[in-house]
Amino acid sequence: MMSEVCASVFQSRVTPLDGPDKITGAARFTFDVTLPGMLHAKVLRSPHPHARIVAIDTSRAEALPGVVAIVTGADAIKLPDPYYGVAIRDQPVLAIDKVRYFGDMVAAVAAVDEETAYRALALIDAQYDLLQPVATIEEALADGAPLLFDAPVPGAPIKLGDGVISLKEPRPNVLYEFGYAKGDADAVLTRSDHVFEDRFRFSRINHFHLEPYVNVARVTGEQIELWSCNQDPFVLRDDIARIFGRPTNNIRVNASYVGGGFGGKSFCKMEPVVVLLAMKAGRPVRLCLSLDEGLLTLTKHAGVLTLRTGVTKDGRLTARKSEIQLDGGAYSDASALTVVKTGYRITGPYRWDAVATRAYAVRTNTVPAGSFRGFGGTQASFASESQIDMIARRLGIDPYDFRRKNLLAIGGPFSRATAASTATSRAVSMRSSNASAIGGSRGARRKATRRAAWGSALG
Amino acid sequence: MGLSIGIKDGGGTANHAQALVKLLASGRAIVNAAAVEIGQGATTALSRIAAKILRLPLDWVRYGAIDTDHTPLDNGTHASCGTAVTGIAVMHAATDVCRQILEFAAERLGCTPDELLLDNWTIRRGNYAHPLEPMIAGHFGGAGFEFIGRGMIKVPNDPRAPLGAQSFFWMPSWVGAEVEVDRETGNVRVLQLVVGADAGRSVNSVACRGQIEGAALQALGQSLFEELRYEGGEPVNATPLDYRVPHAVDLPDRYEVVIFEHGGPGPFGAKGIGEAGMLGVASAIANAIHDAIGVRLTEIPFTPERVLAATQASS
């Protein structure tokens, strides 16, 4: 992997194959898909961050001419498996008993056009019993905080490597916990000349892809077809099969050009609602969300990251203990995976004697958080690289020199080794006698391979 | 001035992908893979990989429509895996179809495949050239034939690694930021932003540059002002009118992207690069603010209010 620097075999500039169609407007996006007899859908969303649903009366909306089908949580609950989410499945196709964030999907209407669907939404009467919301990580973790979920939800913790902690719903309002350790971080910190603890706060942003979320569904007998802006058509296929209890080979997902995703269109979201409406209406249904609704569909994780980092007086990093709390919002989406990756990356590209990391996804009554370009890496980099700089300045060392002194070395014999494990292998190679710079003895290589498992945690 | 290094594991964990390359009797090719074109350039990059192996002009290759009935499986268009992971599957599929064509031609020509070279839809054997189109028509007749190559990749599981697999590649980035801070208003202006990333070996250098530029600008917005804000449980700016994303005027006066090519495990040494530009921007700006006014901001975005509050707290 770390071969000598040479030029790419692809030297010339090329016209992107999709360029001319996109420049002239000829390119077809999912937004452009229309089917014969297609209806248009709109979604009624919760105006409350946290409430119990008392009753939903759709009769006036159903009576509106042009309305073909209306679905609510009462329809969702009858599905073979009405929940989705990556690893931990806590998000209902439509709110079933509670709403858990401002914007939560409560009901959906399919009508002959979007205007009629919007009018019908205004005629749906939803009654709520308001509950105390938890708006922040601190509120969610406080003693006696209101619970988003009263009972454990379906799903399982993510399967990870040996010695890693991976827990589903370990505490009230905590969706997921990830932990790993290498060496005895507490002991190393105690021995360190300096220990610095700093806390960083990361904000919540939206993907703001210009093509809105858009899906068209058609149900023909046993077959379900989707034309979707989703970035992950096969993952979506499997979710639809599970939710609707159909064999996977009866689900067909079509993907066109996607007008920006940045992670916002990863994994299942509103697609099952569109299928449910198409099923009930007996006609194809298109649901195109507004950009406003996009802002209420998914965000990047806000978070609080606390780093305790040890360093010797001459500026060598020794150990880092990290506690990471990411705000997962109301539902799982990809939060568990994001937490794993944030925790994994928090030690940055540096050498450590010991590390210990705990990372959590915390449930709050806010928009669900999930995949976003960087996938936990931006949160980790912000905290880690800010603190590295702070420590250098505190010690009076140039921040550039401080990084250079502590960086993992690059180079080594393992074609597919991680940067961290190649660095480990080099260290091991140099310790063994007569080791060449790139190879080392077979024994050293074996040792290095064994250590690579831990070494890679340093990525 | 502030510096930062971003790093993440790339390509997903223990990821896998499959691909088909269909080569028609005319020599035109269709690449079937499920890396979705989300503006990142998957269409061009994956077609270019196939064209390189098949020794065909790029515009003879088309990236096929994606539907789960026909397109080979892919885990999804995320984790910067399109070029490096799906690209390997496409590379193997193209290599497989190439082998089939050479075997077919060797049989027609009464020789062994290793005497033959495929170039521009012509079989070359020593000084002789044998166009493939008539060779296929002569043998199959009818509607001709399609050679179909298959390729896949599975990044190995490794239970000893914390995530259950070794990282397929590392996605580093390096950021330098120069800022000007108005002590009176607290406003931060990024005068200069330099973002470097490693493409392994770029398959399309213009697209790589675009990926880094776009990601870094997204990160710049989040660093300085972009935020979905809440008051209690209610969002206060969840409309496109109120939600502020970076505009052209927010571009730093000097904005530079540097692409390094240090090699990677993808086709022809490629790596994924799509997320790299996001990683180090916020910390580089925080570090530059500290360098400029001696005040540390530990919460993004670095709004004028926060800069002023931090300045007052430190004085």
The per-type count for chain B, helices as H runs and strands as E runs, is 7, 14
The tokens for A79 are 């599905």
Q: In chain B, what are the domains?
A: 13-154 (3.30.365.10), 169-314 (3.30.365.10)
Contact check, Cβ <8 Å, B66/A255: yes
A5 touches chain B (CB under 8 A): yes
Question: A8, A229, A317, A341: best mutation site toward chain B, by most B Cβ within 10 Å?
Answer: A8
The tokens for A394 are 């505190």
Q: For residue A13, which residues of chain B lie inside 8 Å, CB to CB?
A: 205-206
- Residue B29 has φ and ψ, to the nearest 5°, of -120, 150
| B43-to-A235, A258, B30, B35 alpha-carbon distances in Å | 20, 12, 11, 8
B129 touches chain A (CB under 8 A): no
User: For domain A165-206+298-395, is the CATH number 3.90.1150.110?
Assistant: no
Does an H or E element contain B139, and which? helix B132-140
Shortest distance between the Cα of B243 and any Cα of chain A, in A, equals 9
Interval A88-99: pLDDT, tens: 999 999 999 999
pLDDT at A6: 61
Interval A226-255: pLDDT, tens: 999 999 999 999 999 999 999 999 999 999
- Asked if the interface predicted TM-score (ipTM) of this complex is over 0.95, the answer is yes
- Residue B258 has φ and ψ, to the nearest 5°, of -120, 125
Nearest chain B residue to A330 by CA distance is B233
pTM of the model: 0.92
* C-alpha span between B247 and B176 (Å, rounded): 21
Instruction: Give me the residue from A206, A345, A459 closest to B228, CB to CB.
Output: A206
Instruction: Give me the residue from A161, A386, A416 closest to B163, CB to CB.
Output: A161
pLDDT at A433: 27
Closest CA to A177 of A380, A305, A335: A335
The tokens for B222 are 């989040």
pLDDT at A436: 28
Q: For residue B222, which residues of chain A lie inside 8 Å, CB to CB?
A: 203, 205, 300, 378
In B146-185, the residues whose Cβ lies within 8 Å of chain A are: 158-170, 172
pLDDT at B136: 98
Instruction: Give me the residue from B43, B67, B206 closest to A252, CB to CB.
Output: B67
Contacts of B171 (CB under 8 A, 6+ apart): B6, B7, B8, B9, B10, B80, B197, B198, B271, B272, B273, B275, B276, B279
The tokens for A97 are 């008993």
Contact check, Cβ <8 Å, B279/A378: yes
HEC letters along A262-328: CCCCCCCCCHHHHHHHHHHHCCCEEEECCHHHHHCCCECCEEEEEEEEEECCCCCEEEEEEEEEEEE
pLDDT at A11: 82
Contact check, Cβ <8 Å, A232/B76: yes
Tally C-beta pairs within 8 A across A and B.
336
B222 touches chain A (CB under 8 A): yes
pLDDT at B286: 98
The tokens for A24 are 């002239």
Interval B299-308: pLDDT, tens: 999 999 999 9
Task: Please compute the mean of the pLDDT values over residues A262-271 and round it to a whole number.
Answer: 98
A171 touches chain B (CB under 8 A): no
Shortest distance between the Cα of A19 and any Cα of chain B, in A, equals 9
In A70-109, the residues whose Cβ lies within 8 Å of chain B are: 101-103
Q: For residue B163, which residues of chain A lie inside 8 Å, CB to CB?
A: 160-161, 164, 340, 344, 456
| A365-to-A101, A133, A230 alpha-carbon distances in Å | 5, 6, 25
CA angle B167, B168, B174 (to 5 degrees): 80
Interval A60-90: pLDDT, tens: 999 999 999 999 999 999 999 999 999 999 9
* C-alpha span between A259 and A29 (Å, rounded): 7
pLDDT at A429: 31
Residue pair B123/B135 in contact by the 8 Å Cβ criterion: yes
Q: What is the mean pLDDT of chain A?
A: 89
Which residues of B are tagged catalytic? Answer: 275
Contact check, Cβ <8 Å, B78/A381: no
A345 touches chain B (CB under 8 A): yes
Residue pair A326/A335 in contact by the 8 Å Cβ criterion: yes
B8 touches chain A (CB under 8 A): yes
pLDDT at A411: 57
Interval B150-183: pLDDT, tens: 999 999 999 888 899 989 999 999 999 999 999 9
CA B54, B55, B61, B66 dihedral sign is positive
Does an H or E element contain A126, and which? strand A125-130
Q: For residue B280, which residues of chain A lie inside 8 Å, CB to CB?
A: 381, 385
Contacts of A185 (CB under 8 A, 6+ apart): A319, A320, A321, A354, A355, A356
Burial class (CB in 10 A: 0-12, 13-18, 19+), B314: exposed
Q: For residue A50, which residues of chain B lie inside 8 Å, CB to CB?
A: 233
In B243-302, the residues whose Cβ lies within 8 Å of chain A are: 243, 245, 260-265, 268-270, 274-275, 278-280, 282-284, 286-287, 290, 296, 298-301
Confidence label for B132 from pLDDT (cuts 50, 70 and 90): very high
In A266-325, the residues whose Cβ lies within 8 Å of chain B are: 266-267, 291-292, 295-296, 299-300
Contact check, Cβ <8 Å, B261/A7: yes
B18 touches chain A (CB under 8 A): no
Interval A212-230: pLDDT, tens: 999 999 999 999 999 999 9
pLDDT at A40: 98
Q: For residue A418, which residues of chain B lie inside 8 Å, CB to CB?
A: 9, 166-167, 170
A18 touches chain B (CB under 8 A): yes
Site of tokens 């088909």:
B20
A348 touches chain B (CB under 8 A): yes
Closest CA to A75 of A242, A199, A188, A243: A243
Question: B55, B158, B234, B258: best mutation site toward chain A, by most A Cβ within 10 Å?
Answer: B234
Contact check, Cβ <8 Å, B36/A258: yes
* Domain boundaries, given as residue ranges, for chain A: 165-206+298-395, 408-458
Contact check, Cβ <8 Å, A231/B76: yes
Instruction: Give me the residue from A251, A252, A292 closest to B238, CB to CB.
Output: A292
Q: What is the DSSP string of A357-404?
A: EEEEEEE-SS--B---TTTTHHHHHHHHHHHHHHHHHHHT--HHHHHH
Measured in whole angstroms, how far is the alpha carbon of residue A320 from the centre of its chain?
25
Nearest chain B residue to A163 by CA distance is B162
pLDDT at A12: 85
Interval A414-431: pLDDT, tens: 222 233 433 333 333 323
Contact check, Cβ <8 Å, A261/B204: no
